[in-house]
Structure 1
Amino acid sequence: MNRALDWAMVITLCASFMYTVSIAFFNEYLLTLGVEPSFIIRNTEQILYHSIFILAETILISGVFFFPLLIIFTGVVLVSLIIIFRFYKTKKLFVKYKKNKANKKLKKRRISLSFGSYLDRVIIFILKVFVITLVVVFTMIYFEKKGEKKAHRLLTKIESNQIKESELLTKEGVGKILLISCGTNNCAAIDVKSKEIIYFENKITDNTIHSFLREYKEE
């Protein structure tokens, strides 16, 4: 039962992390392009599917070097702090041991050791929370920057007229538009001539599917 709960917690944390990564990337991408994120509401499947793609790409490109270094650094910091606190605790215990009478030495030593063990657990827990918080914060910042860079690449591509005809959709009354993203109900596109953002109802067509899939492909 406990093992099942542990696995459920791990799965929940992983899903939450993936959800956060996708939201950070996607919202910054839309905001940079001038799209209001609240208009493009995605379902859970879309969010998790998107996060798998961007996480896989990140792991392949930078994870081979970054994550091992992070693990090593975290381990070194934890071990160093534990050694420092243990040294301080041992020194303090030795001073108390010298000053007390023989019949009280063992009792105080046991109390100190018990408190020291509890202190170690508290310190390690605080350090774990601190490290996890840092990882989450820097991960969000990193993926926000990735979303922003992708948006800037798209804008540069539009400005330099490098958009292929096959990537464009024809919107009645507007002309050629480039699909930015689709949610469950609405889509957002950009007029390649006026650079105006256009919102419209999500009606799936072959071209829409093609452009929608292209959204998840890093250029």
Structure 2
Amino acid sequence: MRRLTPRQYDRRASISMCAYVALMVLVWPLVRGTPATGIKFLLAVVPVLPMLYVIGLMALRIRYSDELEQRTHLVALGAATAVVGALSLVGGFLAAGKVVALDGSILIWVFPALVMVYGSTRWWVMTRLYGGAPDCDDGHAPMWRRMLLVAALMGFVGLAAWWKGDRDPFRLGMLCGMGASLLVAALVVLFRRRRKLP
């Protein structure tokens, strides 16, 4: 398989993440109302498929990168595994000791937590240890465009929840707040970038 360009990687990952959000909004709510176990199983794992594709894309990206990039990915992956593993261990002991009540649905947050710690650690390694610029695009979609995509996805999820009658003020407020924060952050990044251009 040939190496993906950064733009191809960004486009495929963005499409996969949009498919994931759409499946979570449209398919996931059907799981609880389905009586048949086989169909319930299929509906429950369908949203995982785009995420598995993104994991495969990440593996290809790392495989075909140079030694420095592979090292930064390895350091970030090691840090993410250590942080999320330690938090999971603490959470497991707290749940087993009946200090906090946790159910199995908390496992949904393991992968997003890994990705967030991985991304922030890799950014720190690239900017602090190797002197890269935090706003360097190196062929990828600009950061402001990625932030706008995530803000739009959060807005879509919020509108879908509102449309379906979910009027939980905390959930809707969290989605609106996170989406608006990302929108403002994207505009700030775009404004700062435009000011630097000659």
| TM-score of the aligned structures, taking structure 2 as reference length | 0.30
User: Would you tell me which structure has more helix in proportion to its own residues?
Assistant: 2
User: Would you tell me which structure has more strand in proportion to its own residues?
Assistant: 1
Which one has the largest radius of gyration? 1
| TM-score of the aligned structures, taking structure 1 as reference length | 0.28
